[in-house]
Chain A
């Protein structure tokens, strides 16, 4: 197990290096620079001063090597668009906000998604099934900006204690968490439904039933426990997507999270910030996947046995 984790760790570092290199090449091959603004053009001589200030006048290879050196020290550099915060500060400030929202919505999705799917499977082609599947189809197909605006228009403006936007207390997190949760919730419930249906037809379920175990125990102990596995396997990517934040939800609800920077940094050509959030996201994703693999081993004895057998 320790050897396995060590191997994964080494692989992770190689992946990060590849991410850095590819991002570096891509972002510098796109036209534009961090200092251009839509409303006001900058005269060439002032542009030169700016390029010099941020070291962009140096050859690309030098910039790349310098960048790698800094990243090794976990220093993502100065944001080129914001003079008041470094990239490290931006991530340190935005991530807790996005992570909190993300975790809350993952919780909502994990509590209701599998349950909805399981109910649908147990009542296949009956009314509860239809209701559950309609909910999940809506959840998958309604884009989050529509849902977000809808919630503001019809919930926040009507219910006194739910704020329209902003950040601070628990009540500020309710609508955005829900809006973020809908998509994974729907995905979980569809996955759960199909894997439950498959498992309910398996011989060991029949065996368990024929042993005279109560229906409830069969479902909880044998069916759900197996059917949940596909959900666990996509949990890593889902969690990492959610905890780094959503551009759309953060924008609509005015949340000072990290998600917006994935989009705006590219739009602004804020090179250091692009690199910072990309590398950070890669780190989160790699660690989440590793954790999920470990969790998988713990939950499913078959995987553990085969691994140990090698």
Chain B
């Protein structure tokens, strides 16, 4: 071999060694946790190891926007209310609360002895500061809208009012008073949501970058952030100063940031994870067939649906939309295509939410959509006739179903296309685009049918029904029905569950009569847990809660 090639190779070799040298010291310690101790208990410590799937964009509660952030935040922070080890909503930082008779003013009394991880006491001033901070226009919090229930919040966030106009006030160190725009039956639950988490006022004011580095990171929850290796791993450790530390069995939680579902599954199988949430569909199906006890199919409040553009003839006709809806065999879609334990949609509100009598809202409203080919064809043809069209005219239009590029959306779209073809005799094309392009086209009304989905934020049917009132920013189909609006407004006017639930039940029925959107299925959340791990709980509105987990044997 030529001498010069040898020189070249040695230079490359030297460079490789150089980079090895650069990158190894920072990683030595983390590795002992992640790979060295299968089972997590050989060191005597109980470490729950799992995968967080994606790199958190920010671990500042005000700036967080999704599960890859909230799953961590919910373990390191705690709001006024929280979910306990049985999945019930209970007092967290708050010791007690009082609600005024008109349902508008909440007065929270904070616990004694609650501390930040830097030793400062958690005060009502921290809460006031944090909520106003999340609402400040310059913070540009993605999720500020979930604070709009507070009086003056929206105006402040949109620059129409000042921070002083936001009706949240620390009366003293221990007392927080909040006044709402309107009665909100689920406000207590909202205070357990991450945008409502407190941040340490002194820390956040003196160091705006506090949330970027574990060494300056201050939180108040059951765990604390000790290490954040970007795109690699997040390490949490039990917070001994947490007021309820006795209930926390784990010594720590290691969360990998591993995007690939299949690799993550291999790691779970190889015993490197104790719990895995984002399980590949094929695996879910296989475990389901085998009845593997490691597989849990948790409820999730989410609905997969199709938007139908009412601006396009003949989709302006409710019978046409209804015909399309009744022609979908949802049982087949969930059994043969999605195969992740999803539930065929029978309305827009998924199961898991309670009505005024403590019954499941979905069950008490009943099935509002079913698979009925004969009825579908009848309605569809009547609708077409009312619009002066025939099936041939319809087919000549070249209508398409728009979806964002993904293997599963594609399969579902193909099934819908086929079901519409066989039942209604119509041809609807398929078009896939990147999700940003889809959003763009939905906003400009440049579509006929488009795929959509919604995951609820809190355990109340309003998290769904709110989407289609005429003022909603998320009302893509621009559904505008004054009667529907009136029902929603009525449900939003009181804390009286009898009145609210009755109005919402009627609203859902009305919505499914008009069918501005075609629900397909209700999402579920499959996850796998090793047999020696206990205490994982699933609240429909949350990722599986790992805070109270325990590892035995």
Contacts and interface: CB of A to CB of B under 8 A. Distances in A.
Interface of A: 30-33, 35-46, 48-50, 52-53, 81-85, 90, 93-94, 96-97, 99-100, 103-104, 106-107, 110-111, 114, 149, 152-153, 156-157, 163-170, 220, 224-225, 228, 232, 251-254, 256-257, 260, 267, 269, 295, 298-299
B9 A43 contact: no
Contact of B35 (A104, A163, A232): A163
A103 B58 contact: no
Nearest to B138: A53
B523 to A, nearest CB: 11
B145 A46 contact: yes
A199 to B, nearest CB: 13
Contact of A168 (B31, B262, B264, B434): B31
A59 to B, nearest CB: 20
Given A43-B145, A106-B12, A169-B31, A49 B137 contact: yes
Contact of A85 (B140, B230, B473): B230
A41 B55 contact: no
Contacts of B256: 166, 254
Contacts of A81: 57
Nearest to A235: B8
Given A165-B258, A169-B24, A103 B267 contact: no
A232 B55 CA distance: 38
A52 B233 CA distance: 32
B211 interface: yes
A83 B63 contact: yes
Given A94-B231, A165-B267, A299-B4, A104 B16 contact: yes
A49 B23 contact: no
Contacts of A269: 436
A45, A48, A267: most-surrounded residue (chain B CB, <10 A)? A45
Interface string B1-41: 11011001100110110011011100110110011000000
Contacts of B142: 35, 42, 46, 50
A99 B140 CA distance: 36
Contacts of B332: none
Given A165-B267, A166-B35, A252-B260, A37 B66 contact: yes
B211 A100 contact: no
Interface string B222-240: 0000001111110000000
B228 to A, nearest CB: 8
Nearest to B263: A165
Contacts of B474: 41, 43
A251 B232 contact: no
Given A49-B144, A83-B58, A254-B232, 12 more contacts: A41-B439, A49-B138, A85-B212, A111-B9, A168-B28, A169-B27, A224-B1, A228-B2, A252-B260, A254-B264, A256-B231, A298-B4
Contacts of A164: 263, 266-267, 270, 272
Contacts of A37: 65-66
A107 B12 contact: yes
Contacts of B455: 39-40
A167 B23 CA distance: 10
Interface string B263-292: 110110110100000000000000000000
B123 interface: no
A46 B144 contact: yes
A96 B453 CA distance: 39
B9 to A, nearest CB: 6
Contacts of B229: 256
A148 to B, nearest CB: 9
A107 B5 CA distance: 11
Contacts of B228: 84
Interface string B501-526: 00000000000000000000000000
A36 B34 contact: no
B470 interface: no
A173 B139 CA distance: 40
A152 B20 contact: no
B202 interface: no
Given A107-B12, A110-B12, A256 B63 contact: no
Contacts of B534: none
Contacts of B191: none
Contact of B140 (A46, A225, A257): A46
A156 B266 contact: yes
A193 B225 CA distance: 55
Contacts of B9: 107, 110-111
Contacts of B66: 37, 39-40
Contacts of A260: 231, 259
A52 B140 contact: yes
Nearest to A33: B436
Nearest to A118: B1
Contacts of A94: 231
Contacts of B270: 157, 164
Contacts of A85: 212, 230
A165 B260 contact: yes
B480 interface: no
**Shortest beta-carbon contacts, A-B, top 5:** A32-B436, A83-B58, A256-B231, A100-B19, A254-B258
A126 to B, nearest CB: 22
A83 B60 contact: yes
B93 interface: no
B266 A251 contact: no
B483 to A, nearest CB: 24
B421 to A, nearest CB: 28
B440 A32 contact: yes
B59 A84 contact: yes
Contacts of B481: none
A253 B263 contact: yes
11 contacts: A33-B436, A37-B65, A49-B157, A50-B140, A84-B57, A96-B23, A153-B266, A164-B263, A166-B35, A220-B1, A256-B230
A113 to B, nearest CB: 12
Contacts of B435: 36, 38
A116 to B, nearest CB: 13
B141 interface: yes
Given A31-B440, A39-B455, A96-B22, A166 B63 contact: no
Contacts of B264: 165, 254
